[in-house]
Amino acid sequence: MKEPKPLTYKDAGVDIEAGDRLVDRIKPWAAATNRPGVLAGIGGFGALFSLAESIADRRLVDPVLVSATDGVGTKLKIAQRMGKHDTVGIDLVAMSANDILTLGAEPLFFLDYFSTSHLDLQVAEQVIKGIAEGCRQAGCALIGGETAEMPDFYAPGEYDLAGFIVGIVDRAQVIDGSRIAPGDKIIALASSGLHSNGFSMVRKILEGRALKLEETVPELSTPLGEELLRPTHIYVKVFQELKEHFDLKGLAHITGGGLPGNLPRILPPGCQATIRLGSWEVPPIFSFLQREGGVAEEEMFRVFNMGIGMAVIVAASEAEEALDLAQSFRGKAWIVGEIASGEKGVKLIEAH
């Protein structure tokens, strides 16, 4: 009787050698993001980062670490259907990097978690190449991560992403919104499009209207899938310039929940954000989705960023100069409202 073939981990759907090859392939991408402070990165049991080396040229009296974690959500399904995997990594970094900016922090380093049913080296390398590009844009180092191959947990061709960022800020420079007061102005920094929120609704609209990702929508001047995959903008550079020259009283990263769900998170009691509709440019992808899905305007503002990726609150006396600087770095920025006395929240009003 023939002896049965010994069972291997590869027979169970996990290719250890493929994982090792991926580590070798991504090391150059990670190394390209290195910054002062990186002591040991990809490949070990843990990464090493020296705070002393990282902040040696700064005058930080009481340094505070700031952290955030996030994923990309069901936008990944669009990437997987399109077979385009080189931008969702930028989204992954952006979601966490933009979050810690709202506290005044400078990003230091980033770690990712990539999990899939079966490790496709080409796909995984493209994803992590995008993560490295996001880290480059954010000025942080990609110093570690984890790749998990989990057969039968995901459908074939599917993968998921999560990320974790650490930044630093001097305690005296923490931005917490507590100094926001009536009369302050709200500057909106343009989003690049949908960013990484609301894609469960997006996919519902696509399915309901039988829309194809490959079709070119005239008002978008690009195939629908490409527009949906436009990566989240990373606001680190414009934030650093604004912080150096102006007193930033509050920042809100406009993600899931839109303006009504995110601006109140930084408002002190007795302050209401009044936003003038029509005072900024709303990218056509939003009107397209609203029309095709029959979505009410109130719901659009509750789900999507509607063209505003970051809201910055400054004193009225600094608003125009801060706007000019923001426009010189970001291109599109607007004064879209002000802080008024009232119940904490957001009030959308028609522009006159």
CATH code assigned at 128: 3.30.1330.10
Query: In the predicted model, what is the mean pLDDT of residues 206-228?
Result: 89
272-294 pLDDT, tens digit each: 999 999 999 999 999 999 999 99
Tell whether 8 is covered by a domain. no
Residues 261-274 as b/e (b if ≥16 CB within 10 A, e otherwise) read bbbbebbeeebbbb
Q: How many domains does the chain have?
A: 2
Q: Tell me, yes or no, whether 228 and 318 share the same domain.
A: yes
Tell whether 10 is covered by a domain. no
Query: In the predicted model, what is the mean pLDDT of residues 2-22?
Result: 69
Residue 38's pLDDT is 86
104-146 pLDDT, tens digit each: 999 999 999 999 998 888 998 999 999 999 999 999 999 988 8
Q: Inform me whether the pLDDT recorded for 352 exceeds 70.
A: no
d(CA 239, CA 54): 19
- pLDDT tier at 163, thresholds 50, 70, 90: very high
Q: Inform me whether the pLDDT recorded for 1 exceeds 60.
A: no
- pLDDT tier at 55, thresholds 50, 70, 90: confident
d(CA 222, CA 243): 35
Residue 335 structural domain: 185-350
**Which residue's structure tokens are 């527009």?**
227
Q: Tell me, yes or no, whether 72 and 129 share the same domain.
A: yes
Q: Tell me, yes or no, whether 32 and 164 share the same domain.
A: yes
**Mean of pLDDT over the chain:** 91
Q: Inform me whether the pLDDT recorded for 264 exceeds 70.
A: yes
Q: Global pTM?
A: 0.93
Q: List residues bridging with 152 in a β-sheet.
A: none
144-153 pLDDT, tens digit each: 888 888 888 9
- pLDDT tier at 201, thresholds 50, 70, 90: very high
